[in-house]
Amino acid sequence: MRNLLVLFACAAALCAGAGCSDDDCAPCAPATTEQPLASFEMEMAGGAASAIGDTLRINFVSSEADTLFNLYVTEADEGTVKIINARVYPPFAAATARLSDGTNDSWMFYVRFHPSSTGGGSGALESSWLSGGFTDEFNPDLLGAEITKIWLYLNDVSIVREIGYTNYSVSARAVIMGKI
C-alpha cells in the first residue's frame, strides 16, 4: 500500500508541476513528461527437491521471446525497487515495442532457481493484466505510448530450506513509466 501511495504522490507532483487542472488535463501531465502508464502484480511460489542456492532468476518474456526484464535476486533484495530500462537491460527496447504494438500478446512470468533453472512460470494475455492502465485509455496493450522504464517493487523474496527441499516465493509490483 505504501508503494502505491508513493506512486500516486509522484503522479500528483508531475501534474502540479505541469500547471494543469482536472478540467483541462487528461492524463494530467504534458505528453513530453514521463508518467505512470500502467502497473501489474506478479506472484510466484514453488520449490525443488534439493538445496539449490541463494539466488532466483526472475524474467518476464513475451510469446515471441522478447524479454522485458531478466533479474537475479536474493532475499537481500526484498523491499527494494529495481529500475529497468534499455540502458541497464538492452533487450528492453524490443520488448517494449511489443508491449505497445496494439496486439494482445501473451507474456510469461518465470521464477527459477539460479543456476539450476528449476522453478515455475505463469502466463496471460496483455489485456488481462494491462487493460486500462492508469490513464484508462490503453487496450489491449500500451498502443501509442513510449515506454521509458519499469519500476519493479520487490515486496517479497523468500528462499526457505527444509530437509531435502527448498521453497521460494516472489511477490512484486511493476509500474510501467512512459510518455503518451
pLDDT score at 135: 54
Distance CA 155, CA 66 (A): 25
pLDDT for residue 115: 82
pLDDT digit string, tens, across residues 136-156: 566 678 888 899 999 999 999
At residue 62, what are phi and psi to the nearest 5 degrees? -80, 165
Q: Is the separation of the CB atoms in 100 and 141 below 8 Å?
A: yes
Residues 35 and 29 sit within 8 Å (Cβ to Cβ):
yes
Provide the b/e sequence for 125-140 (b: ≥16 CB within 10 Å): bbeebbeebbbeebeb
DSSP 138: B
- Report how far residue 89's alpha carbon sits from residue 91's, in angstroms, rounded to the nearest whole number: 6
pLDDT at 158: 96
Q: How confident is the model at residue 20, as a pLDDT?
A: 44
Does the pTM exceed 0.85?
no
Mean of all residue pLDDT scores within the chain: 80
The pLDDT assigned to 164 comes to 83
pLDDT digits (tens, 9 = 90+) for 53-67: 789 999 999 888 889
Give me 59's grid cell: 524474467
Secondary structure (DSSP) of 70-87: EEEE-GGGTT-EEEE-TT
| Residues 20-79 pLDDT 10s | 444 444 455 445 688 888 888 999 999 888 757 789 999 999 888 889 999 999 999 999
Say if residue 90 is preceded by a cis peptide, omega within 30 of 0: no
Could you tell me where the beta strands, DSSP code E, fall in the chain?
Answer: 35-48, 55-62, 67-73, 81-84, 106-114, 119-125, 146-162, 165-179
The model's confidence at residue 18, banded by pLDDT at 50, 70 and 90, is: very low
Q: Is the pLDDT of residue 103 over 60?
A: yes
Higher pLDDT, 80 or 117: 80
pLDDT at residue 9 is higher than 60: no
Close Cβ partners of 169 (under 8 Å, ≥ 6 residues apart): 43, 44, 45, 156, 157, 158
What pLDDT score was predicted for residue 136? 58
